[in-house]
């Protein structure tokens, strides 16, 4: 019987949470030397040079006692890599991680919030405060409570002399814009922003440069047959999976796909509500990090349902269009949704190759 993500109830231990604070498999070999800037966008070369200089500065000898004492009394500054999706921010962040010697941690925004939840704030600060470098990927806010938590965490780690480097699609003083009453948290957000040197990285999505644009779908029967024949495959109905994701904390989506060789989804349709869409975005991110191919089929013909979900133009196969409604794409989460579309298109292409 084919495995199903819906049957999984991941309960990662604290040891597992800590072990996961390293770059994901997709970026295990990312290095500054193999980051290739696009000549059409000089900011990519500039960011590479600045990150290289930052890594070299961190690895310089730390000097004597007075030098260390002075360093502790001064808040450490970090780098904030801002730009669109697919311009190489995560590649640069993981390259920095690999370039720096000594204690260091790497995780997504949601992984750090989960760690704080598991340890308690002060224990998390003490644990992370022993690092020279803390890397935070996907600094995007879905909840105002997380805003306060992470800005305070960054401030306290910085005060301890920990260097912090983060990536995001949103400038630090614009976090939360269009999502919640950001003015209520403006002081906290600005205090965090002052700790960073912002590097803006321009460019095109490299996945599109590689010809990945459409999210390819297969006939449902083909998806089911491939799932049954593939070792390590999972098979789930899209609606059932969305319902299951409501019961699993997003920080556990990585554990949810442990040892999955290929994910198979049937009945995929458009999304119109943020709560479903944002959870699915996190799942797509973890699948992408783990390089898990996705094979999917579309919901059957029949027009839109009561929630306005888009139906497939053909039964099962074709191209997935309008995964996120126009209203969702006009929201403050627009960049996050566009990134997910780009990543899912890449995973679906891998799935298409796997099925042939």
**Which pLDDT tens digit goes with each residue over 157-207?**
999 999 999 888 664 554 444 443 444 445 555 666 777 888 889 988 776
Element (H, E) at 42: helix 42-58
Are 70 and 111 in contact by the 8 Å Cβ rule? The answer is no
Name the segment(s) of the chain with CATH classification 3.40.50.300. Answer: 31-201
CB neighbour class for 317 (10 Å; exposed up to 12, middle 13-18, buried from 19): middle
Structure tokens at 267: 């009945």
Tens digits of residue pLDDT in 93-152:
999 999 999 999 999 988 898 899 889 999 999 999 999 999 999 886 666 778 788 888
First to last CA, the chain: 22
Asked if pLDDT for residue 67 goes beyond 80, the answer is no
Residue 185's pLDDT is 43
Contacts of 63 (CB under 8 A, 6+ apart): none
Residue 283's pLDDT is 97
215-217 and 318-320 as β-strands: parallel, antiparallel, unpaired? antiparallel
Q: Which fold has domain 31-201?
A: Rossmann fold (3.40.50)
Please report, for residues 94, 103, 334, the alpha-carbon distance to residue 326 in angstroms, rounded to integers and kept in the order given: 33, 44, 10
Q: What percent of the chain has pLDDT over 90?
A: 58
Please report, for residues 90, 102, 113, 135, 316, the alpha-carbon distance to residue 105 in angstroms, rounded to integers and kept in the order given: 14, 10, 14, 6, 42
Rounded Cα–Cα distance for residues 211 and 207 (Å):
7
pTM to 2 decimal places: 0.83
3-class DSSP assignment, residue 101: coil
196-201 and 163-168 as β-strands: parallel, antiparallel, unpaired? unpaired
Angle at 168 between CA 165 and CA 171, to 5 degrees: 95
Are 251 and 111 in contact by the 8 Å Cβ rule? The answer is yes
- What are the backbone angles phi and psi of residue 108, rounded to the nearest 5°? -80, 165
Q: How many residues does the chain have?
A: 356
Residue 291's pLDDT is 96
Highest mean pLDDT among 62-76, 80-94, 170-184, 311-325: 80-94
- Mean pLDDT, rounded, for 232-253: 96
Structure tokens at 175: 């976090």
- What are the backbone angles phi and psi of residue 264, rounded to the nearest 5°? -120, 130
- Mean pLDDT, rounded, for 320-343: 89
CB neighbour class for 116 (10 Å; exposed up to 12, middle 13-18, buried from 19): buried
Higher pLDDT, 188 or 35: 35
Q: What percent of the chain has pLDDT over 70?
A: 80
Residue 254's pLDDT is 93
Selection from 28, 161, 163 nearest residue 98 by Cα: 28
Query: How many H-runs (helices) and E-runs (strands) does the chain carry?
Result: 15, 10
Residue 312's pLDDT is 41
Tens digits of residue pLDDT in 202-229:
988 776 655 556 899 999 999 999 999 9
Are 135 and 163 in contact by the 8 Å Cβ rule? The answer is no
Angle at 203 between CA 197 and CA 208, to 5 degrees: 135
CA 52 to chain centre: 23
């Amino acid at each position: 019987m084919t495995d199903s993500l819906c049957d999984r109830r991941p309960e990662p231990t604290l040891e597992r949470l800590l072990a996961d604070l390293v770059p994901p498999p997709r970026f295990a070999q990312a290095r500054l030397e193999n980051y290739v800037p696009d000549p059409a966008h000089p900011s990519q070369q500039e960011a590479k040079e600045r990150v290289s200089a930052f890594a070299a500065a961190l690895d310089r000898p730390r000097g004597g006692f007075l030098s260390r004492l002075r360093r502790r009394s001064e808040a450490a500054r970090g780098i904030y890599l801002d730009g669109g999706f697919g311009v190489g921010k995560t590649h640069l962040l993981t390259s920095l991680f690999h370039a720096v010697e000594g204690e260091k941690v790497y995780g997504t925004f949601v992984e750090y919030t989960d760690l704080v939840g598991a340890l308690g704030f002060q224990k998390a600060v003490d644990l992370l405060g022993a690092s020279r470098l803390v890397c935070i990927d996907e600094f995007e806010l879905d909840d105002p409570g997380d805003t306060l938590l992470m800005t305070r965490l960054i401030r306290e780690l910085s005060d301890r002399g920990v260097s912090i480097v983060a990536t995001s699609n949103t400038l630090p003083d614009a976090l939360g814009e269009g999502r919640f009453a950001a003015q209520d948290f403006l002081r906290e957000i600005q205090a965090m922003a002052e700790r960073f040197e912002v590097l803006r990285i321009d460019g095109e999505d490299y996945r599109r440069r590689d010809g990945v644009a459409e999210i390819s779908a297969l006939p449902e029967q083909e998806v089911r047959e491939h799932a049954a024949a593939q070792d390590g495959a999972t098979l789930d109905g899209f609606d059932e999976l969305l319902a299951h994701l409501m019961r699993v904390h997003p920080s556990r989506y990585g554990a949810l796909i442990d040892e999955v060789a290929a994910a198979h989804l049937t009945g995929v349709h458009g999304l119109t509500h943020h709560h479903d869409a944002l959870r699915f975005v996190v799942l797509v991110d973890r699948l992408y990090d783990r390089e898990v191919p996705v094979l999917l089929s579309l919901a059957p013909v029949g027009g839109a349902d009561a929630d306005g979900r888009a139906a497939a133009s053909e039964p099962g196969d074709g191209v997935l269009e309008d995964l996120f409604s126009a209203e969702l794409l006009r929201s403050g989460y627009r960049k996050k949704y566009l990134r997910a579309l780009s990543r899912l298109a890449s995973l679906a292409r891998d799935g298409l190759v796997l099925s042939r």
